């Protein structure tokens, strides 16, 4: 029998649940947020939620990771417009500089994301998922830019592109974790200094 509701309809419902769940996880943390919280926040019944997801765990996984890939696509598209490697790196810093951590929702997303990452040391599934994604989407992105820049003489040739990529994301993670854990952290000023250091260092 053909499904009574379209796949698209189901997808939208899932999205609704996921974004409600994300709000709950942000507000209370994964453990403290209850299915009842998600029920209340989403307006769905408990049974309905369990029709879409097998467990709270699965909701967590999907809620935290639903946006990453699509965001990446947008950024990559914009990077293509920039010919110089330095400009590309600069653009990536600017992308993070434009994050508004005074916005509750945005802060919350970051917080949940870092909590999720800290889980990785206890959950092989999370660990391998994050590791693969980090390599594919984040490390390779910078490494390619750097390698490209080195081949064009824009960037010092004596630097290891891979290490530089890890350093770059270390800076981003550093500024992010600080602002998430301290609302008064001078995120923009500090990240701007990091950008300046990093760009100076490249050439």
Partner DNA sequence: GATGAATGAGAGTTCATTCAT
Partner DNA sequence: GATGAATGAACTCTCATTCAT
Q: Which residues bind its own copies (CB under 8 A)?
A: 27-29, 31-32, 107, 111, 114-115, 117-122, 130-131, 134, 159-160, 162-164, 166-167, 169-175, 177-178, 180-186, 189-191, 193-194, 196-198, 200-201
Phi and psi angles of residue 21, each rounded to the nearest 5 degrees, phi first: -60, -40
φ and ψ at residue 166, rounded to 5 degrees: -65, -35
Rounded-to-5 percentages of helix, strand, coil across the chain: 75, 0, 25
4 vs 157, beta carbon nearer DNA: 4
Q: Least distance in Å: CB of 79 to its own copies? A: 22
- Residue 67 DSSP SS3: coil
Q: At what angle do helices 85-97 and 68-80 cross, to 10 degrees?
A: 140
Residue 51 binding result from DNA, its own copies, none, given CB thresholds of 5 to 8 Å by partner type: DNA
Altogether, the residues listed in the chain come to a count of 203
55 binds DNA (CB under 7 A): yes
Q: What are the residues binding DNA (CB under 7 A)? A: 1, 3-5, 10, 13, 32-36, 44-48, 50-52, 54-57
């Amino acid at each position: 029998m053909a499904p009574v509701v379209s796949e698209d309809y189901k997808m939208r419902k899932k999205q609704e649940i996921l974004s409600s769940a994300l709000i709950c996880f942000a507000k209370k943390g994964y453990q403290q947020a209850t299915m009842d919280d998600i029920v209340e926040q989403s307006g769905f019944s408990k049974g309905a939620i369990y029709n879409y997801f097998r467990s709270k765990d699965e909701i967590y996984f999907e809620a935290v990771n639903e946006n990453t890939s699509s965001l990446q696509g947008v950024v990559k598209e914009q990077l293509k417009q920039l010919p110089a490697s330095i400009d590309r790196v600069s653009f990536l810093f600017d992308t993070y500089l434009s994050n508004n951590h005074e916005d509750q929702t945005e802060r919350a997303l970051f917080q949940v994301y870092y909590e999720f990452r800290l889980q990785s040391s206890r959950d092989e599934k999370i660990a391998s998922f994050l590791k693969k994604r980090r390599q594919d989407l984040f490390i390779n992105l910078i490494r390619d830019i750097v390698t490209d820049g080195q081949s064009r003489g824009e960037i010092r040739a004596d630097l290891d592109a891979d290490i530089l990529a890890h350093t770059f994301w270390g800076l981003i993670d550093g500024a992010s974790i600080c602002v998430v854990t301290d609302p008064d952290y001078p995120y923009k000023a500090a990240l701007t200094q990091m950008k300046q250091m990093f760009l100076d260092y490249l050439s």
